[in-house]
Amino acid sequence: MATAVRLLVLFLLFLSSPNPILSLYEDQVGLMDWHQQYIGKVRHAVFHTQKTGRKRVVVYTEENVLASLDLRHGEIFWRRVLGTNDAIDGIDIALGKYVITLSSGGSILRAWNLPNGQMVWESSLQGPKHSKALLSVEKGSKSKKYNIVIVLSRGCLHAVSSIDGEVLWKKDFDAQSLEIQQVIQLPGSDFLYVVGFSGSSLFEVYQINAKNGEMLKHEIASFSGDFSGELSLVSSEMLVALDATGSSLITISFHSEQISFQQAYISHLVEGFSGPAMMLPSPVTGIFAVKINTVTVFIEVTDKGKLEVLDKTEQPTVISDALSFSETQQAFALVQHEGNKIHFIVKLADNWGSNLLKETIELDQQRGLVHKVFIHNYIRTDRSHGFRALVVMEDHSLLLLQQGAVVWSREDGLASIVDVTTSELPVYKEGALVAKVEHNLFEWLKGHWLKLKGTLMLASPEDVAAIQRIRLKSSEKSKMTRDHNGFRKFLIVLTRGGKLFALHTGDGQIVWSVLLHSLRYSDRCQHPMGVNLYQWQVPHHRAMDENPSVLIVGRCGQRSDAQGVISFVDTYTGRELRSFGLVHSIAQVIPLPFTDSTEQCLHLIIDADKHAHLYPKTPEAVGIFQSELSKVYWYSVEADNGIIRGYGLKSGCVGKEAGEDCFDTRELWSVVFPSESEKIIATVTRKPNEVVHTQAKVVADQDVMYKYLSKNLLFVATVAPKASGEIGSATLEESWLIVYLIDTVTGRILHRMSHHGSHGPVHAVFSENWVVYHYFNLRAHRYEMSVIEIYDQSRAENKDVWKLVLGKHNLTLPISLYSRAEAMTKSQSYFITHSVKTMAVTLTAKGITSKQLLIGTIGDQVLALDKRFLDPRRTVNPSQAEREEGIIPLTDTLPIIPQSYITHALKVEGLREIVIVPAKLESTTLVFAHGVDLFFTRLAPSKTYDSLTEDFSYALLLLTIVALVAAIFVTWVLSERKDLQEKWR
């Protein structure tokens, strides 16, 4: 009996013991990670519908994504990301089954299978010079045996077969100084007309046979003035252009035997005209539009070339391309804004006065203005013509409008994230604490009973599905309140469209979004762009009544001396608290480690004139900053000039900007790299929020090495000027890579190392006292990763225990960066099989957990690599003590383990950055990777040693305890009975 009890106890202990899991089960997918796919802001769209089969629209975007979308739901059928070096110039559909794309400045023509996106063929189009890239697909009738694609690229006109990509003929315009503007092919005609300008006042026309490329006619005419370079086709034999001043319109007739010009001043057509005009694309035959400031004017061209104003509107207006919806009729669409409504109007080409369709649709004001519209027609059940519109908004979102409603929408602005920060969730929700149990007892018991059945493999398929639902629900990952592990947060992301999103880390849902007023077009700021996000107010115990907020920094242009704009947004509600334009530029923003009494973080904004401006501009903030003024240093990197400068601050500004919150700077040092031999291509510093657990590192022989820990260290990588381009642009003798570790307070170079025969680009991460960087080794024809660790030798005397006991150590002596650093470095290099797009390193709350490198590969996946593989102390035959320490035997190549991809089988297309956020749980870090796609997961580099897994079976644990108690009781009863029987003997 006792043996049976022991076996029962061992069996129950086996069931309750946690087994290590190295992979994900099917029912665990989506519990800790999420993946979202986007395409970016649409540049052009082509509809394709069939009587049978899926209705779709093919688009290409500013992120160089070619995609096929479902017209019913907006889902992605397929997509192809071509990359930044292969920008798409145009798309069309040929033969009803191929998507034709022209890319790379007109040098690459491809055909893609329409149903599945597989590439059918690719043609390389060469030419002698750079020119405008144009694509035109001939829509031949069914009786024709050929279907050709006309391509203008690199100064040549090509005719390419849409069936196999063969170049049928080629016409070279290199000998002529012609700047081609348009290639015109009239429906049903075998002639092509190539029109453009020579110089600023000559207009040229070439008539070419579309079948064989033979030039039939060439005409040239001189205009008395200058052209602005814009042309619009308004009829089969007439073009309209603007003059160089933008004040008059020129109609050009080119089909007659002699080219003729007619000039009309816009002031004669439009009363109160002022300022240069801008030509808009001609929607249909005989009509074109001109934009003058905020006014859009529609002008009709008569048969004799005279211009007549049809209409004008001051409302923001967008015009679609022409749509042929029958053999004889063409239509186009206008979208006009009025408050939070838009008017969708469809007009016939030959009847401006009447509308085929007019619908009014209410839209979210946070989407901004309509930027583009593409229309398509369909047949209603009553056999009449209906129209749908694909609309691209100011915030880069995509909407489908039909029958006066928004059928679906896509937040494709998230494909162009500029910067990311995080915000904590609220502590309370409707007066309840986060820790409050939100499920009743019955649901709790039912859930654990189902989990127990699943563990014992007694669950039915319905039970398995219920277990999955309960896990997703009980994971609490989507709650809008803070959790004690710090897993639930807001990801605050700023997009290129000027919109701010709050994404929940639990499932990636958009909690709120706001289109920032400061980053929208205005007369004062005509080219706004977001630059960075910073934590502005992070309330703690002293200011819990305040909501956290973020600071958004932007500019009115690409240049660093452009006027700056800033905004403040509440991260709980998404409300833009305030925004304003600055009187100075924003060249650099320095978050300071100081806060005022309201927990507002102090920031120093450096303008182009090297003046420092303190924000917030309050007397309290100024007083705090002035007390620390002598301890604030900053540096600037002038990569183009090869100079790094260090600065200090002094009180007061000279000039109009003088004020208590403005400070002058003084240059303390500079490092000048010789421009003929070195070019700066990468700089990196430690993360300001990184926590280091200990400065000491105990090595195998029980020796102690002290890490050189300084947040003022800067890693700089320079290459030979010829080696700064693509790999292969320089020979082995012309290539070298030099890396530096520079103290940014004193400008002292602590370490310098050369890699001869190495090539950029260089990607690097800096953590604690080590740097890891990635580059290409031309000598070995392989990628390499190198590591540098730096140690502080000035504390070497502290290894003596008696000095510590007697108090004769130097641990309490003040450390000055101006004293000569006694630093020692260790380095090592390894081969790696992957090209790298970006790199990051894991961060945890206390810095205890071991580090992992997160490598964004060229395949748009994220690889986790243990830092131990990049230990410079690795040797071929480590000693027993070194093995016990964890030193891995040296190999020349870093191991790539397939299970180490934290993105699993997923891709983060167009991967740009990996953002690391420490959780409150020491073992876990949060990872957010973004590009065209978004990916989020939780990562435990040293496993979850400080917590139980979410699917831990508490019911089984309770059952085990009950069984153990019962076994103990039964054993005790049997023991007592046996003792009693022994006594009776």
Over residues 326-347, the mean pLDDT reads 85
902 contact partners, CB below 8 Å, separation of at least 6 = 854, 862, 863, 864, 927, 937, 939
What is the side-by-side strand order in the sheet with 529-537?
529-537, 549-555, 563-570, 576-585
What span, in angstroms and rounded, lies between the C-alpha atoms of 182 and 150? 12
Q: What are 574-583's contacts with CB under 8 Å, separation 24+?
A: 574/500, 574/502, 574/511, 574/512, 574/513, 574/514, 575/514, 576/514, 576/516, 576/517, 577/549, 579/516, 579/517, 579/518, 580/518, 581/518, 581/524, 581/525, 581/556, 582/613, 583/657
Encoded amino acid at 537, one letter: Q
Given pLDDT bands bounded at 50, 70 and 90, which one contains residue 258?
confident
Q: Which phi and psi angles does 932 have, rounded to 5°?
A: -70, -35
Q: To the nearest whole number, what is the mean pLDDT of the chain?
A: 84
Mean pLDDT over 3-16 rounds to: 45
Give yes or no for a contact between 88 and 82, defined as CB atoms under 8 angstroms apart: yes
Close Cβ partners of 96 (under 8 Å, ≥ 6 residues apart): 48, 114
Where do the domains of the chain lie?
A: 1-18+952-985, 315-410, 412-424+481-586, 435-478, 588-672
Residue 655: pLDDT band (50, 70, 90) is low
Amino acid at 522: S
pTM of the entire predicted model? 0.87
Task: Give per-residue pLDDT as tens, 49-73.
Answer: 776 667 899 999 999 999 999 999 9
Confidence category of residue 821, pLDDT binned at 50, 70, 90: low
In this predicted structure, the answer to whether residue 861 has a pLDDT above a threshold of 90 is: yes
3-state secondary structure of 544: coil
Mean pLDDT of 726-751: 90
When mean pLDDT is compared across 202-206, 453-457, 847-851, the lowest value belongs to: 453-457
Q: Taking 70 as the threshold, does the pLDDT of residue 165 lie above it? A: yes
**Contacts of residue 132, Cβ cutoff 8 Å, sequence gap at least 6:** 106, 152, 179, 180, 181
Please name the residues in contact with 118: beta carbons below 8 A apart, sequence gap of 6 or more.
Answer: 112
Report the pLDDT value the prediction gives residue 445, as an integer from 0 to 100.
67
Cβ within 8 Å of residue 387, ≥6 positions away:
331, 333, 346, 356, 357, 375, 376, 377, 378, 402
Which residues, other chains included, contact 265 with Cβ-Cβ below 8 Å and sequence gap of 6+?
Answer: 247, 248
Q: Which fold has domain 412-424+481-586?
A: Lipocalin (2.40.128)
Percent of the chain at pLDDT > 90 equals: 40
Confidence of residue 264 (pLDDT cuts 50, 70, 90): confident
For residue 320, give the DSSP letter.
P
Comparing 79-93, 429-443, 636-650, the range with the smallest average pLDDT is 429-443
Report the SS3 class of residue 243. Answer: strand
**Total Cβ atoms within 10 A of residue 706:** 19
Distance separating alpha carbons of residues 148 and 175, to the nearest angstrom: 25
Token pair 């004799």 is found at: 304
Pairing mode, if any, of strands 643-651 and 601-606? unpaired
Question: What pLDDT does residue 984 have?
Answer: 83
Q: CA 548, CA 572: separation in Å to the nearest integer?
A: 7
Residue 954 has pLDDT above 80, yes or no: no
Other CB atoms within 10 Å distance of the CB of residue 199: 11
Question: How many helices and strands, by DSSP H and E, does the chain display?
Answer: 8, 66
385-399, 717-731, 860-874, 903-917: segment of lowest average pLDDT: 717-731
533 strand-pairing partners = 552
For residue 662, pLDDT over 60 is answered with yes
Q: In terms of pLDDT, which residue wins out, 288 or 815? A: 288
Q: Of the given ranges (37-46, 243-252, 455-464, 482-491), which has the lowest mean pLDDT?
A: 455-464
Mean pLDDT of 119-131: 86
Among residues 233, 236, 148, 245, which one has the least CA distance to residue 196? 233
Query: What secondary structure does DSSP assign to 829-885, as a single string?
Result: EEEES--EEEEEE---SSS-SPPEEEEEETTS-EEEEEGGGG-TT--SS--HHHHHH
pLDDT band at 443 (very low <50, low <70, confident <90, very high): low
Distant-in-sequence contacts of 938-946, Cβ < 8 A, 24+ apart: 938/32, 938/33, 938/487, 939/842, 939/852, 939/854, 939/864, 939/902, 940/849, 941/842, 941/844, 941/849, 941/850, 941/851, 941/852, 941/864, 941/866, 942/849, 942/850, 943/20, 946/921, 946/922
Tokens of 43: 């540049």
Nearest Cα to Cα of residue 31 among 506, 705, 572: 506
User: What are 344's strand-pairing partners?
Assistant: 335, 359
H/E stretch holding 696 reads strand 696-698
313 half-sphere exposure, CB direction, 13 A CA radius: 13
Residues 6+ apart with CB under 8 A from 59: 39, 42, 43, 44, 45, 46, 66, 67, 69, 91
pLDDT, position 379: 84
Contact 489, 423 (CB under 8 A): yes
Amino acid making up residue 574: G
The least confident of 347-356, 648-657, 873-882 is 648-657
pLDDT digits (tens, 9 = 90+) for 958-981: 888 999 999 999 999 999 888 888
Asked if residue 265 has pLDDT above 70, the reply is: yes
More confident residue, 821 or 342: 342
Q: Which of 369, 413, 423 is nearest to 391 (CA)?
A: 369
